[in-house]
Amino acid sequence: MTAISDRDQLSYIAAQAADARVNVELETEGMTLNIGPQHPATHGTLRIVAKLDGEQVIAADPVMGYMHRGYEKLTEVRTYPQVTTLINRIDWVGSFANEVPFILAAEKLMEVEAPPRAQWIRTILFEMSRIANIALFLGDMGLQVGAVTPAFFAFRDREHVLNQIEAVTGGRFHPNFDRIGGLKDDLPAGWITETKRAMKKMRNFCDEIEGLLQGNEIFEARTRGIGVIPADIGLGYGLSGANIRASGVDWDTRRDNPCGLVHNELDWKVWTHVDGDSFARFWVRLQEVRESTKMVDQLLDGLPSGPVMAKVPRIIKVPAGEAYVETENPLGVMGYYIVSKGDLVPYRVKIRSASFNNISITPWLLKGVYVPDIITILGSLYFILGDIDR
């Protein structure tokens, strides 16, 4: 592992070695440690089989599939409007964001464009899913190093956003609100002022989390210089989202390849960090939540009037063709490759979920780390099991 902050890494190893010296006479042999399938750090049922030499990991092999639901097969027997019900459940804490790239890909094939108001509301809900999703991460990241308070704060404050999502869509977690050609409904009355209040609360929440964790000795010791991902390795594994931006790669699909969403009409910034360690991933996400709250405020101010649904046929048949659309979801780049043969149902849908790629780096990344760091590294990569197993 090429550490960027070598000094921290060395002092950490030295401390570990000092502890180990007590046992220097004893003979050791390798040991296999099973982490999971049930572990709070895995957000579901991911099992990691780690081969250990003392406290050090020699090889780590994630075992997935405990939650594989076969969505790629199931989409082949669902009409296009029905598919959104399924894909809501891929990343279940930021559900609305899952629907967006699929609907955009279908719209691309149909050559339909949602009316401006629908695009803006889509972007609002998209960013609010991000806030709800990453708020959970920010609390959870504290939990991984033994700080319980941030988790309670996260669950408390995330509710403000979820309530607003529920007020529009009727569902806290599975909105199923996006439609080909627009949205199911318009915003309810009084929603805009209430949402602005919620965004303010989320900014306070970010400050609280920052105050609790950043600069905390234990948190810094457990995350700084741990789990360093160099940019080129990360790109080769297809890492995306905050995981790759924390390695210094200035790439965000919202800015660089906008498709159907209106991020480019807003004033915002893509945050990156050069360190590539667990702390950097935490920090980038923290900034992203702040940035998203600002985006939502701007979107609410500039919301155009008009219809929220374009004229689309009552029975939706998507013309034959292939389209791939990806968006910057809370967990990273999520894309749908749709192959249509002109039927009511897609012929093939390849779901490119962010966590699957993000977590595929773990066998490389966990090699050589110490057992307690497995948990912080997994926590900082932030995955949702539904997004891996699909």
Partner 1 sequence: MDAAEAAVDRARDELLAQLTSDLGDSLVESHLVPGDDLWIRVARGAWVETAEFLKTGLGFQYFNFLSAIDWMPSPFGRDMDSQVDIELGHDEASEVDSSLEHGVAGGETRFQVFARVNDIVNGLGVTVKVDIPDDDLSLATWTGVYAGADWHERECWEMYGISFDGHPGLRNIYLPSGFEGNPLRKDYPLLARRLKPWPGIVDVEQMPGDDDDEESGDDS
* List of residues contacting partner 1 (CB under 8 A): 64-65, 68, 70, 72-74, 76-79, 81-82, 108, 179, 184-185, 232-233, 235-238, 249, 251, 256-257, 307-309, 312, 314-315, 320-324, 326, 333, 335, 337, 339, 341, 343-348, 350, 352, 356-357, 360-361, 364, 389
Q: Smallest distance, Å, CB 153 to partner 1? A: 34
Q: Are 134 and 328 in contact (CB under 8 A)?
A: no
CB of 340 to partner 1, least distance (A): 9
With contact defined as beta carbons under 8 Å apart, do 274 and 244 qualify?
no
For the bound state, the minimum distance from the C-beta of residue 357 to partner 1, rounded and expressed in Å, comes to 6
Cα–Cα distance for residue pair 8/225, rounded to 1 Å: 6
Cβ proximity to partner 1, 293 vs 353, nearer residue: 353
Q: Per the structure block, which two tokens stand in for 226?
A: 């741990």
Q: Which is nearer to partner 1, 192 or 344 (CB)?
A: 344
CB nearer to partner 1: pick between 1 and 345: 345
Considering the complex, state which of residue 22 and residue 77 has its C-beta at the smaller distance from partner 1: 77
| Least distance (Å) between residue 102 CB and partner 1 | 15
Q: How far is the CB of 314 from partner 1 (least distance, A)?
A: 6
User: Is 19 or 232 the residue whose CB approaches partner 1 more closely?
Assistant: 232
Q: How far is the CB of 224 from partner 1 (least distance, A)?
A: 25
Place of tokens 């009355």: 189
β-partners of residue 121 are none
Given the complex with partner 1, which of 222 and 352 has the nearer CB atom?
352
Q: Whole-angstrom Cα distance, residue 306 to residue 323?
A: 28
Residue 37: cis peptide before it, omega within 30 degrees of 0: yes
Q: State the nearest-atom distance from the C-beta of 86 to partner 1, in Å.
A: 12
Enumerate residues 6+ apart whose C-beta is below 8 A from 138: 150, 154, 205, 206, 209, 282, 285, 286, 289
CB of 373 to partner 1, least distance (A): 21
- Residue 256 CA to chain centroid, in angstroms? 18
What type of residue sits at position 273? H
Looking at the Cβ atoms of 192 and 231, the one nearer to partner 1 is: 231
Q: How far is the CB of 79 from partner 1 (least distance, A)?
A: 5
User: Nearer Cβ to partner 1, position 160 or 390?
Assistant: 390
Select from 239, 244, 269, 243 the least CA-distant residue to 254: 269
Closest CB to partner 1 among 7 and 314? 314
- State both tokens at 291: 């940035």
